[in-house]
Structure 1
C-alpha cells in the first residue's frame, strides 16, 4: 500500500474557501467556523447543479484538515442504499461534508440512517455540512423528523454565476495555474464556448496542457487554432 496523502492535499487545490467566487453573504465565515469547530452552527447549502456545492464541501474538508481536524467528504449518491453503513464508518471524524442529500430522498431506510447519524453527531460534537439541490422542504424527504432536523441548520442558497462571475472564476483558475489569460481570450471563451462553469474549467485544463505543449500563451489566435473554431 502506498503512502497516504497528507491532510488537505487530498482535496483539489482549486477548491478552497478563499477561491470561491461570489458566495452568499456570511457563507464563507460560517463554513470557516464549521471547519474550525469554533462553536459553529451546522450548515445546509442549497443550490442547483453547477452552483458550487461540491466546491464548498471539499473546501470545508480541506480547511478542517489544515487545522489538524479529521474530515470526511461523502457524496450521498455513492452511499444510496447503504447509508447506515457509510455513516457508521465516519465515527471518530471531526467534520463531515455530506454532499447531495437529495440523492437519498424518498429512500426511507437511508433517511432513518441519516436521522440517527444527525442525532449522534450532535451529541458527540461532530460538525456537519449538508448540501442539496433545494431547501429541505423541496427535496422529497419522507421522514418528517429528518426534514425538521435539516431545517434547523444555518442555511445558504447558492446561485448560478453571471458572466462577470464566470470571468472571475476563469481568471482565478488561470492565475493559480500560472497561466496568462488575456482579457480578449476570456471574452472569446465566454462568448464562443459552453457557458456551463464546470465545462469552462475543464476546458481551461485542456488549454493549459495545450499551451504547455506548444510553448505558447493563451491568445485568441491560439484558442481558434486549438479549439478549431472561427470568429
Structure 2
C-alpha cells in the first residue's frame, strides 16, 4: 500500500521501450451510447472498484489500446502496462516476473499468445498470483474471448471467468464527432463539413484519422491557417 501523502506512482514500462500516449485519456475518448457503460466500468475498475479481473474486447479500430492506456493514466494505483504485441519475442517468464506486486496490471492484445505454450503458461501463473495477492488485471482482446482458442484450458477458464465487456466501433457520424472533439482539444476548430470531408478521403481507422489530425495540426501551425476544406485538401494531397 502506498504511504499516505505520496503521489500516485507512474506506470511501469517493463523496459520494453513502450511509452504511454499522453493523449490516450478518458477525456480524449469519444464515448458512444453503446460504450457508455464500459467506459464507466473501466474508470471504476482502475481505481479499485468491481471484480479483480476484467476483459474488454472489440474489433480492430474500436479504441481498445486507447482505453487500456487511459486506465493506466487514470489509475490511482501503481500499475504495470504490458502490450503483448511488443513482448512476444521476449521470455514470458522474465516479462511476467514480479508483476503480481503491482496492484493493477493492464495487458493489451491477449489473443496474440494463443497457441504459444510458454506464454500461455506464464500468463496463467501471473493471473493466479495477482488473484492470490488481491490485485487487479485488465485484459484487452481484438477477438471475442470465447473464440480465442487458448491451448491451456485453465487459462481459457480464467479469462472467460472474468467480467467481460464488448467495446463497439464508432459509426461514421461518431467518428466525425471524435475528430472534432480531438481537434478542439488541440485548440483547432473543425466544423462538421471538414470532418466529413476527411472521413470520405481517408482510412476509417481512428488511429489513421488521428494521424491525419497530427498532420493538419502541424501544417496549421506552420502556415497559420484554419481548418477549411481547401486547406485539408492541400495537406492530404501532399
TM-score when scaled to structure 1?
0.88
1:54 match? 65
| Residues 153-162 or 51-60, more deviating | 153-162
Query: Is the Cα–Cα contact under 8 Å of residues 25 and 70 in structure 2 kept in the other structure?
Result: yes
By how many angstroms is 1:91 displaced?
3.7
Query: Is the Cα–Cα contact under 8 Å of residues 76 and 98 in structure 1 kept in the other structure?
Result: yes
SS at the partner of 1:18? Answer: coil
Query: Is the Cα–Cα contact under 8 Å of residues 33 and 40 in structure 1 kept in the other structure?
Result: no
Distance in 1 of aligned mates of 2:152 and 2:145: 11
2:14 match? none
Query: Is the Cα–Cα contact under 8 Å of residues 47 and 134 in structure 1 kept in the other structure?
Result: yes
Distance in 1 of aligned mates of 2:81 and 2:184: 27
2:10 match? 7
Query: Is the Cα–Cα contact under 8 Å of residues 43 and 130 in structure 1 kept in the other structure?
Result: yes
1:33 match? 44
Query: Is the Cα–Cα contact under 8 Å of residues 97 and 130 in structure 1 kept in the other structure?
Result: yes
Which residues of structure 1 form unaligned runs of 5+?
1-5
Query: Is the Cα–Cα contact under 8 Å of residues 98 and 130 in structure 1 kept in the other structure?
Result: yes
Distance in 2 of aligned mates of 1:215 and 1:19: 25
Q: Structure 1 200/57 Cα, relative in aligned 2: closer, same or farther at 3 Å?
A: same
Query: Is the Cα–Cα contact under 8 Å of residues 77 and 104 in structure 1 kept in the other structure?
Result: no
SS at the partner of 1:198? Answer: helix
2:187 match? 178
Which residues of structure 2 form unaligned runs of 5+?
1-8, 12-18
Distance in 1 of aligned mates of 2:38 and 2:204: 25
By how many angstroms is 1:190 displaced?
1.4
Report how many residues are paired.
220
SS at the partner of 2:46? Answer: helix
TM-score when scaled to structure 2?
0.86
Structure 1 residue corresponding to 2:139, chosen from 117, 126, 130: 130
1:153 match? 162
Q: Structure 1 108/200 Cα, relative in aligned 2: closer, same or farther at 3 Å?
A: same
Q: Describe the superposition over 1:67-117 as per-residue Cα deviations: whole angstroms up to 9, x where unpaired.
A: 2x2112111122225222111142421111110011111011210111111
The root-mean-square deviation of aligned C-alpha atoms, in Å, is 1.8
Distance in 2 of aligned mates of 1:28 and 1:178: 25
